[in-house]
Amino acid sequence: MKRLNTPVTASDMGALFLTANSVAKRPASIGSVRILPECSEKSVSKLNLDDIEEFSTSEFQHQRSMCRSKKSLLKTIVEEPQIRGNCSTDFLKWKELLLSMSPGMVMPEESRKADYDSLETQYQKGVKHLYDNGIEHVPRKYILPASERPNVVNERSRDATHHINLKLPIIDFSELQGPNRSQVLTSLASACENYGFFQLVNHGIPYEIISNMVDVSKRFFELPFSEREKYMSADMGSPVRYGTSYNQTNDGVFCWRDFLKLVCHPLPDLLPHWPSSPLDFRKLAVRYAKEVKFLFLMLVDAILESLGLMNKKKTTEKDEDKDEDEKKEILKEFEDGSQLMVMNCYPPCPQPDLTLGMPPHSDYGFLTLLLQDEVKGLQIQHKENWVTVEPIPGSFVVNVGDHLEIFSNGRYKSVLHRVLVNSMNYRISVASLHSLPFKSTVQPCPKLISETNPRRYMDTDFATFLDYIKSRDATKKSFLQSRKLTS
């Protein structure tokens, strides 16, 4: 056997494979690499190079200076102390082994640290930066475990999750203002109970305001990184925060997503912190934020009534006045409440089946109003399946947040959802998350607690949520699950 004299990097490791009965019976030293003459071209030609590339440690691909041809890639194998005796390891098991091997086995410590620091810097710049620089493979940092990838088949339904489309319940907002209000409220309650989502049409916000918001969001992400970088922050409480992934401080696997978060209340105090580029950004974003806040308050009014808390048919004027005062008090609290606007950018992804734009999560808050372009991507978990939401131009996708599930004592559901990416098109969305003031305590509504429907959730507040986010890892249950009372 001939030993390779060229230094081997971790990217080369990702391209290596093992054919049956090809490994010498004598164990080799860590990281030794050999060419085996018994690997015939015929035996290696049956293997798919794309399969190998999928499992490559792609973050080191820029260092690949050898093994350029398909044949040399397929003929190169590695011997590692874990492999002993007559190994007849099948190809899939070998790929798993390669993924578990540390770059430290094949690279000097100094080079490994320098490459790691350099790559971490690149990742923190976001996926827009990676895409703009012509990345051809999803870096290892973004590759999900096989069981969590978006093309996994549901074992119960046997349907590929990304092939199922769903038309959410449609709520015509204009009907809430007319004689059919009672019927629409029934539909609203059903949507919140059975889906946790609905699509809102005829909502009254001019199309120009909506389209301008999508457009200016896209133009912000098209700015040079040096401009976007000004708003990068690890401070969860920052009034403006540009970043990448979901929670880039704690994420073990990154998401294929960049974002800009804007705290919107109190608007006069926060506006000077908002981006001033593009030049019309503040003007268009403020106009949109105000319109969405008003729409949210109108929806809260309908939500309260759909829960039976503000029934307009009262037996006495005193009862009617009491409920009206209570409604005004609740609405005033929401009017002074939190509003977080999140602009999301999902660039084209070279291998969309290996990663996600957003991981499965529920929204912290009372209601989220999502504005999205016409590119599919949003999926919700419905009846144990991941189903794709069909976009309706000019509409909002509205979903129940954790706070509303707690407030309704479990009647309305805060549902898990996630975002897929694609290899062809950018996807832009703008989420507006609304709830009570940050210092308020969220608890089940006393009117919705009874002997037959006991209290199901602990009180919570924003500080508790922040503590959870800072310590969150993949082994923990969701924030909402952490607030549930055990019977």
Across the beta sheet with 378-382, the strand order is 165-166, 385-389, 378-382, 417-419, 358-361
Q: Return the CATH fold of 161-483.
A: Jelly Rolls (2.60.120)
Give the separation between CA 169 and CA 91, rounded to whole angstroms: 46
Domain regions of the chain by residue span: 2-110, 161-483
Position 161 scores a pLDDT of 45
The structure's pTM equals 0.74
Q: Please give the full DSSP string across 47-65, using - where no structure is assigned.
A: S-HHHHHHTS-GGGGGG--
In this predicted structure, what is the pLDDT of residue 152? 58
Reduced to 3 states (helix: H, G, I; strand: E, B; else coil), residue 419 is strand
Q: Taking the C-alpha atoms of 24, 27, 32 and 37 in order, what is their torsion angle to the nearest 10 degrees?
A: -10
Distance from C-alpha of 385 to C-alpha of 162, rounded to nearest angstrom: 10
Q: What is the chain's pLDDT, residue by residue, as a tens digit (487 residues)?
A: 433 333 434 333 433 333 333 333 333 333 333 333 333 333 433 444 344 444 344 433 433 433 333 334 333 443 333 433 444 444 555 445 444 444 444 455 555 444 444 556 677 789 999 999 999 999 999 999 999 999 855 444 444 444 567 789 999 999 998 999 999 999 999 999 999 999 999 999 999 999 999 999 999 999 999 999 999 987 877 899 999 887 666 678 899 999 999 999 999 999 999 999 999 999 999 999 999 999 999 999 999 999 998 765 555 666 666 677 777 888 899 999 999 999 999 999 999 999 999 999 999 999 999 999 999 999 999 988 999 999 999 999 999 999 999 999 999 999 999 999 999 999 999 999 999 998 899 999 999 999 999 999 999 988 888 788 776 553 455 888 889 997 6
Q: What is the pLDDT of residue 123?
A: 75
- Among the listed residues 386, 374, 376, the one whose alpha carbon sits nearest the alpha carbon of residue 417: 386
Q: How far apart are CA 111 and CA 113, in angstroms?
A: 6
Q: Which residue has the tokens 């974003």?
A: 285
pLDDT at 51: 41
Beta strands (DSSP E) in 373-466 are 378-382, 385-389, 396-400, 417-419, 427-434
Nearest residue to 63 (alpha-carbon basis) of 7, 113, 117: 7
E-assigned strand segments in 7-134: 33-35, 76-78
- Single out the residue of 144, 191, 204 nearest to residue 356, CA to CA: 144
